[in-house]
Every structure is written in structure tokens, then in C-alpha cells.
């Protein structure tokens, strides 16, 4: 009796069909695959039978017999294959009813493998230190369809192997060594001996460093902006800059940002060191660190020590107003911070009332375009940096030692005296005119009386 289902390793009879071999034994899912299957005793079993072929669970359509022992068929491109690995199965079915017996099914011992094309996403490591090397992180899909994977970095100068430290369906991470040159190149992934993926726009970059000749300073309360200039070749791969100040045995971090208008500048805020007891400047060690991408840290001043000048918090005593000029008096007012770090406003308002244009050790000068707002203000708020805000009372006029206010006061008094003198002069002139007019009238009247008297005597 003929077996209905057969494995080519176990034959019930030497004349029964058997899958000898098939080609290819591996294919990509994104292309049509033309199969050629050699079956022993095939010609003897195709009489009055229909052939149905499947490859790794996928239909192989339009099977044709070639040279009596070969079946040719096609597996069309697979978009979402449910199965990518399995045997080749040939089924012989009786083509005319009634069926005299069950179909004969034979299976290959060797499995066929469909390879889903591997794909790398865009978020891969694009920069590595020239002097240190580092880890290249790659993410994608179907990256583990074979265990035989090799990665290398190819530049204009060398081919540098990248040791794989993580490999699964979605990740390939490898560690690459340093390079003798800062240069562009590509990452090449070999899957077996056939499939190759290339990742371009890869760079070996020089370590960034701090530009010399800069001063770094802040106040005890922190929050002051530091604009750090860098030197180097390529800064487009920098990530997560941070600064550290060592104070009283503790390393205190402060976050930084890459300056959006210039990739060679890092914008940091000085840390709050709570140094309320400071009475003079203190010099502290300062460290800057930046990442190129994941897990690639650079200490920007690894070889050169940088001083951080820690100043006491500014002390504001009072303020004065002279027309559009606001003067804030105090001590420790100029501590190497930028005028942009100073905001002056009225209480219960978020709007600035003036623009700072000069800072000295004892005064802050601010120009306002709305003097009416501050004309009668008794107090104002000053914010220096992000952490220090103080209320300042207006300086009483009688105690003012501001030359500009004294000049203004003297000018006002002088104008008042001049006005009074003018009025007195006018009154004096008016009185004189009235007196002279009265005398003139009296003289004219006396003359008329004399004339009348003389005429009467003559009669």
C-alpha cells in the first residue's frame, strides 16, 4: 500500500518519489523566487495527478515538469510572511474523481529559508572620537535573520573592524577602535557572505576643547549665563553639555545647552552654591563635559585646569530716579555677569521698566522709556540671574548724594527764584507807573487852577 505522507528520509518502497535537492535554498522575501526541485521517480507519479508545491509554507505557483524529474515553480514576493523557514513540500493529487486513494505528500529534509531584508533606522551613532573610538549603536528590523554578521568602519585611510557586543532583531551594537585621522566614512554590515548594508555619513571627529582666554565667573546664588566658546573641527554631533564646580568638597553640576545660533558655543547657567557668607571673590576648579552621542563623554578641559571666579551676591541699597535714568546703588554689583542677566521691574508686574546699559562696582544704570511708571514708585524689584531677586527702596531726596539729582534740585530752585524776582520786578514797575501817573495828574490839575485864578483876578 502506498503511504499518503512521506518524509524523504523514510521510504516505504525504493520506487516511491523522493525530493533529492532544490535550488535555491535561500531567498529574499522582497523578490519573486524561481524554484527548481529535483524529485526521484517524479515522472512515474505525475500520471493522472496534479502537483501542488509549497516552500517554507508559501505557495509555489504554476508548477511545471521539466526533463521528467524536475519541478519548476515560482514563489511570488512576500509582503508579510507568516513563516520564513520550512521544508519544501510536493503533493501529488489525483486529477479526476473519484479519488482512488489519498494524495501522496513528500517533504524535504533540508529546510528552505526566506530572508526578510534587514533595515537600519536613521537614529544610529554618527560620530566617534578619533582618539578614543567608541560604541556604534544601530537600530533597525530583521537584523538577526542570520547569526553570521560582521561590521567594519571604512574610511579613506583604513578599514577598522567593529567588535559586535549586542545582536538581536532590532539592535546591533559594536565597539570600534580609534583612528589616526579625523575623517568621514561609512559603517558596513555583512550578513553572511551576500547581504550588505552601508550606513553613510559616519565621522571620526577630533575632541572638542575650550577656547583659551575666557573668564568664567558667577555669584553665590547662581543662575548667571556663561557663554563658553569651543575650538575644534566638528561640533554637530555634540549632546548633553554640562559643567561642574567643585565647592567645599562637593562636585556641583549645572546644565548647559548648545547655543542654537552658533554650534561652537555652549550656554550654561552657573550653579547655586549657597555661599551667603562670602565677602570676597573665591577661585574654584571648573570642569566642562559634553557627549558626542550615546556613551561618548568628552571632558573639554581634561588637560588644562580652568578657574571659576565665585563672587558674593550683589547687595543693593536703594535706587534713584532722574528723568529717564534709574540708578541702583549698592556693593558687589559688578561681578563679571552680563547686563542681559539683570531684569528690573515694578512689584506685581512681570514687565521690565528699563534697559541696563552700564554696571559698576557700586551702581547699575538703567534707561527707561516710560518714566511716568517709575516717577512715583517707592520700591522696585531687581533680578540678577535666575535665582537672586531683591526689593529695593527708593532713596529719600533729602539724603541724596547723587550729583545729577542735586543739579536738578538746584535748577528747580533757581527757576523758582527767577520767577519770583520777575514778578516782583513787574509789580515794582507797575507801582512806579501808577505813582508817576498820579503826580502828572496832580500837576496838570494845579496848573488848571492857577490859570482859572489868574483870569478871575484880571476881571
Domain ranges of the chain: 5-115, 119-205, 209-311, 315-395
pLDDT band of residue 114 (cuts 50, 70, 90) is confident
Minimum mean pLDDT range among 5-14, 152-161, 255-264, 443-452? 5-14
Q: How far apart are CA 62 and CA 29, in angstroms?
A: 19
For residue 25, how many C-alpha atoms fall within 13 Å in the half-sphere facing its CB?
A: 8
Per-residue pLDDT for 314 more than 50?
A: yes
The architecture (CATH level 2) of 209-311 comes to Sandwich (2.60)
Are 381 and 345 a contacting pair, CB within 8 Å? yes
Number of CB atoms found within 10 A of residue 387's CB: 17
| 3-class secondary-structure state, position 354 | coil
**What pLDDT is recorded for position 210?**
84
Per-residue pLDDT for 191 more than 90?
A: no
Average pLDDT of 392-400?
Answer: 73
Peptide bond just before 249 cis, omega within 30 deg? no
Most confident of 15-19, 56-60, 298-302: 56-60
Per-residue pLDDT for 457 more than 60?
A: no
Q: How far apart are CA 364 and CA 319, in angstroms?
A: 9
Per-residue pLDDT for 7 more than 50?
A: no
Backbone angles phi, psi at 45, to 5 degrees: -105, 0
pTM of the model: 0.55
**What pLDDT is recorded for position 166?**
93
**What pLDDT is recorded for position 333?**
83
Q: How far apart are CA 287 and CA 300, in angstroms?
A: 7
> Which position has the higher pLDDT, 437 or 360?
360
pLDDT digits (tens, 9 = 90+) for 50-78: 889 999 989 999 999 988 889 999 999 88
Question: The cell 533529492 sits on which residue?
Answer: 20
Per-residue pLDDT for 202 more than 60?
A: yes
Q: How far apart are CA 128 and CA 186, in angstroms?
A: 12
> Which position has the higher pLDDT, 155 or 298?
155
**What pLDDT is recorded for position 375?**
82
Backbone angles phi, psi at 163, to 5 degrees: -75, 120
pLDDT band of residue 367 (cuts 50, 70, 90) is very high
Are 219 and 313 a contacting pair, CB within 8 Å? yes
> Which position has the higher pLDDT, 209 or 168?
168
Minimum mean pLDDT range among 89-93, 160-164, 261-265, 307-311? 261-265
Beta-carbon contacts of residue 269 (< 8 Å; ≥ 6 apart): 222, 223, 224, 225, 226, 254, 255, 256, 385, 386
**What pLDDT is recorded for position 4?**
43
Are 216 and 228 a contacting pair, CB within 8 Å? yes
3-class secondary structure per residue, 114-141: EECCCEECCCCCCEEECCCEEEEEEEEE
* 315-395 CATH choice from 3.40.50, 1.20.120, 2.60.40, 1.10.287: 2.60.40
Minimum mean pLDDT range among 253-262, 311-320, 339-348, 355-364? 253-262
Q: Which of 213, 287, 295 is nearest to 256 (CA)?
A: 287
Average pLDDT of 87-115?
Answer: 82
The CA angle 439-437-431, to the nearest 5 degrees, is 105
Number of CB atoms found within 10 A of residue 384's CB: 24
**What pLDDT is recorded for position 104?**
86
pLDDT digits (tens, 9 = 90+) for 154-185: 988 889 999 999 998 889 999 999 888 888 88
**What pLDDT is recorded for position 75?**
92
Grid cell at residue 287: 570642569
Long-range contact set of residues 147-153: C-beta below 8 Å, sequence gap at least 24 = 148/191, 148/192, 148/193, 149/189, 149/190, 149/191, 150/189, 150/190, 151/187, 151/188, 151/189, 151/190, 152/187, 152/188, 152/190, 153/128, 153/185, 153/186, 153/187, 153/188, 153/202
> Which position has the higher pLDDT, 105 or 450?
105
Backbone angles phi, psi at 230, to 5 degrees: -110, 160
| Domain 5-115, classified CATH 2.60.40.10, yes or no | yes
pLDDT digits (tens, 9 = 90+) for 403-433: 555 555 556 666 777 778 778 777 777 777 7
| 3-class secondary-structure state, position 102 | coil
Average pLDDT of 104-116?
Answer: 86
Average pLDDT of 233-246?
Answer: 78
Minimum mean pLDDT range among 81-90, 245-254, 378-387, 395-404? 395-404
Number of CB atoms found within 10 A of residue 233's CB: 11
The architecture (CATH level 2) of 119-205 comes to Sandwich (2.60)
**What pLDDT is recorded for position 199?**
85
Amino acid at each position: 500500500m502506498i503511504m499518503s505522507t512521506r518524509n524523504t528520509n523514510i521510504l516505504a518502497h525504493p520506487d516511491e518519489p523522493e525530493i533529492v535537492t532544490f535550488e535555491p535554498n535561500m531567498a529574499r522575501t522582497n523578490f519573486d523566487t524561481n524554484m527548481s526541485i529535483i524529485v526521484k521517480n517524479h515522472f512515474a507519479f505525475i500520471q493522472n495527478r496534479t502537483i501542488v508545491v509549497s516552500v517554507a509554507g508559501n505557495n509555489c505557483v504554476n508548477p511545471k515538469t521539466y526533463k521528467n524529474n524536475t519541478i519548476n515553480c515560482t514563489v511570488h514576493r512576500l509582503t508579510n510572511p507568516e513563516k520564513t523557514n520550512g521544508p519544501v513540500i510536493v503533493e501529488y493529487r489525483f486529477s479526476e474523481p473519484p479519488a482512488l486513494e489519498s494524495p501522496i505528500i513528500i517533504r524535504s529534509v533540508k529546510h528552505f529559508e526566506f530572508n526578510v531584508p534587514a533595515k537600519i533606522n536613521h537614529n544610529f551613532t554618527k560620530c566617534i572620537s578619533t582618539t578614543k573610538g567608541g560604541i556604534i549603536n544601530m537600530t533597525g528590523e530583521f537584523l538577526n535573520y542570520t547569526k553570521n554578521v560582521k561590521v567594519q568602519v571604512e574610511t579613506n585611510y583604513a578599514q577598522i573592524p567593529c567588535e559586535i557586543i549586542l545582536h538581536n532583531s532590532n539592535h546591533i551594537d559594536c565597539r570600534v577602535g580609534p583612528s589616526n585621522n579625523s575623517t568621514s566614512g561609512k559603517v558596513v554590515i555583512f550578513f553572511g557572505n551576500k547581504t550588505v548594508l552601508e550606513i553613510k555619513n559616519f565621522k571620526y571627529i577630533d575632541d572638542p576643547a575650550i577656547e583659551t582666554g575666557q573668564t568664567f565667573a558667577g555669584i553665590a546664588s547662581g543662575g548667571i549665563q556663561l557663554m563658553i566658546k569651543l575650538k575644534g573641527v566638528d561640533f554637530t554631533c555634540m549632546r548633553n553639555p554640562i559643567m561642574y564646580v567643585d565647592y567645599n568638597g562637593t562636585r556641583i553640576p549645572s546644565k548647559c545647552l548648545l547655543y542654537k545660533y552658533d554650534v561652537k558655543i555652549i550656554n550654561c547657567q552657573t550653579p547655586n552654591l549657597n555661599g551667603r557668607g562670602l565677602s570676597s571673590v573665591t577661585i574654584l576648579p571648573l570642569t566642562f563635559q559634553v557627549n558626542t552621542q550615546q556613551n561618548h563623554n568628552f571632558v573639554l578641559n581634561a588637560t588644562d585646569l580652568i578657574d571659576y571666579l565665585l563672587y558674593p551676591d550683589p547687595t543693593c541699597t536703594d535706587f534713584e530716579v532722574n528723568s529717564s535714568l534709574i540708578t541702583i546703588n549698592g556693593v558687589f554689583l559688578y561681578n563679571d555677569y552680563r547686563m542681559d542677566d539683570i531684569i528690573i521691574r515694578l512689584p506685581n508686574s512681570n514687565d521690565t521698566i528699563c534697559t541696563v546699559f552700564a554696571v559698576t562696582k557700586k551702581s547699575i544704570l538703567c534707561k527707561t522709556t516710560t518714566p511716568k511708571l517709575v516717577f512715583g514708585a517707592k520700591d522696585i524689584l531687581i533680578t540678577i540671574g535666575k535665582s537672586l531677586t531683591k526689593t529695593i527702596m527708593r532713596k529719600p531726596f533729602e539724603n541724596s548724594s547723587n550729583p545729577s539729582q542735586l543739579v536738578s534740585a538746584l535748577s528747580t530752585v533757581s527757576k523758582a527764584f527767577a520767577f519770583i524776582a520777575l514778578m516782583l520786578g513787574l509789580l515794582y514797575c507797575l507801582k512806579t507807573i501808577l505813582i508817576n501817573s498820579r503826580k502828572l495828574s496832580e500837576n496838570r490839575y494845579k496848573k488848571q487852577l492857577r490859570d482859572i485864578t489868574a483870569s478871575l483876578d484880571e476881571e
